[in-house]
Every structure is written in C-alpha cells, then in structure tokens.
Homo-oligomer: A and B are copies of this chain.
Amino acid sequence: MIRINILLLILAAFLSSSNTHALVSDFCVADLSRSVSPAGYACKKPPLTVNDFVFSNFKAGNTSNFLNAALNPAFVDQFPGINGLGLSAARLDLDAGGVVPIHSHPGASELVIILQGRITVGFISTDNTVYQKTLMKGDIIVIPQGLLHFQLNAGGNRASAVLTFSSTNPVAQLVDVALFGNNLDSGLVARTTFLDLAQVKKLKAVFGGRG
C-alpha cells in the first residue's frame, strides 16, 4: 500500500499543473458570462463535467420558411467546450427548393459533408473562377476561407449536410442581409453595387432595410 502512495506521488510530479490551473493547456471551456479577448472567451473555472464537452442539440431545424432551409449551429456560443480549439460544426437541412443565399465566413474555411439528398455547392475565387458541383451522399467539398459561396437543394427531396469550420465562431455574412437588411442608404447601395435603385428599394422592403 505504501508503494502505491509513493509511486503516485512521484508520477504526480510529472503532471506539471495543479488542478486549479490545468486548463491552461488541455482545454478552455468558454465562460460566456466573462470577458472576451482576441483569443476567445475566458475559461470556465473547475469543476467541469463531461457535459461541458458535449453539444446535444445537433438536429434538423424547422425548414417551413421561404428559404426551405434550416441551419443549426454548434458554434462557441452554443457549444462552449470548443473555445480556443479552432473548429466548430453546423447541421444544414434543405427541403425541395431550399437555398442558402450567397454568403461568406470571414476567416473560416468550411467542409460541406453531404448526408442525404443532392446539394449544389459553388464558390467563387478572387480571380473570379466559379467552382461548382452537385454533390450527394459520400461527397465532401471544401470552401476556402472567406470566399463567397452558396448551397442549393438540387433534388426533389430533403437534403442534409454536416458543415464543419476551421474557427469556433464562423459567423456568416450574407450579401442580401448586408445590402438590404439594414440602414444603408439605398442610393449608396445602388452606387456601390450598380444595381438599379428600384431593385434596391424592392429588396430593402423584402429584407426589412431602412433608408
């Protein structure tokens, strides 16, 4: 019995951190209520349980809407356990006719992993080449960081995909929402996009923008 205690004591000396500070290198579960820095959220204080590392709502959302689409994110705000670890996920469901409008993720690359159905995915590079393909179960496409891209249900049935990202908070910027869903002046939008003013005003009405 003495042998056990001594041996454990010795081995413990090889474990560099006390329990209090062990989080520094193994992981850093986000404490969403505390301060944020450029590196992410402050770490939750011990004790932790396995549930700090589990996200349990990775299910299809409600697609009964005009986009016939649902996105269910497991980003750091929903899944604090990934804080500081550089990856996240989301589930995408597209009913027949479903679409994810053109958007980008500033600073995050994305894998689209098809689970069922057929999805047309396209991205445009900065030298203005279109990379587009209709994918089905067993296919993955990578969207390099920050590039504009879209997803469309290419079949007659529901299509689903797992999305994974190289960032813990790969917030999307949708072109429509950025242009038409806020208080940007309509004339300014027309000037900086070459869209007709009437088109801008029409979409401002759809997306709830002012000005």
Contacts and interface: CB of A to CB of B under 8 A. Distances in A.
Contact of A106 (B13, B104, B128, B164): B104
B26 A37 contact: no
A38 B133 CA distance: 25
Contacts of A58: 113, 138-140
A197 B19 CA distance: 30
A31 to B, nearest CB: 8
B67 A10 contact: yes
Contacts of A179: 102
Given A8-B181, A10-B65, A38-B84, A15 B128 contact: yes
Copies of this protein in the assembly total 6
A175 to B, nearest CB: 6
Contacts of A115: 115
SS class of chain A's interface: helix, strand, loop or mixed?
mixed
B75 A16 contact: yes
A26 B139 contact: no
A81 B115 CA distance: 20
B208 A142 contact: no
Nearest to A35: B42
B40 A176 contact: no
Name, among A38, A103, A172, the residue most crowded by chain B CB atoms within 10 Å (CB to CB): A38
Interface in A150-206: 150, 152, 162, 164-179, 181-184, 188, 191-196, 199, 202-203, 205-206
- In order of increasing CB-CB distance, the 10 nearest A-B pairs are A106-B146, A38-B84, A39-B39, A27-B144, A126-B171, A164-B164, A22-B127, A85-B109, A150-B192, A25-B169
18 contacts: A4-B205, A4-B206, A7-B66, A8-B207, A16-B77, A17-B75, A22-B126, A25-B169, A26-B147, A35-B43, A37-B40, A38-B84, A50-B132, A53-B144, A55-B140, A150-B188, A150-B192, A176-B194
